[in-house]
Amino acid sequence: MLEEDGQVARARWARSDAPQVKIEVGYSARLAGSSLQKIIETGQPRILNDLKAHLREHPNSESTRLIVEEGMRSSLTCR
């Protein structure tokens, strides 16, 4: 969910079969400069088939690092 006038994304729901969920309900991140910002602006979904490669290209992405640590290998993000 978007909060703070669309400046922050906050997780309101989480589901994972991983032993430890890394992005739990309440996790938040600023949109400015993130790869999620383009998805919000355009409304176009994003499919990442290789999250490890995405993390190598975006090493400062905390959310990508966390879901890779959780064991996720691909991602579909929609607005």
The pLDDT tens digits along the chain (79 residues) read: 889 988 999 988 888 888 888 888 999 999 888 888 888 889 899 999 999 999 999 999 999 999 999 999 999 988 7
**Residue by residue, what is the 3-state secondary structure of 38-63?**
HHHHHCCCEEECCHHHHHHHCCCCHH
CB 7 within 8 A of CB 30: yes
Ramachandran category for residue 25: left, alpha or beta (phi over 0 → left; psi -120 to 50 → alpha):
beta
d(CA 30, CA 17): 26
Both tokens assigned to 42: 């355009």
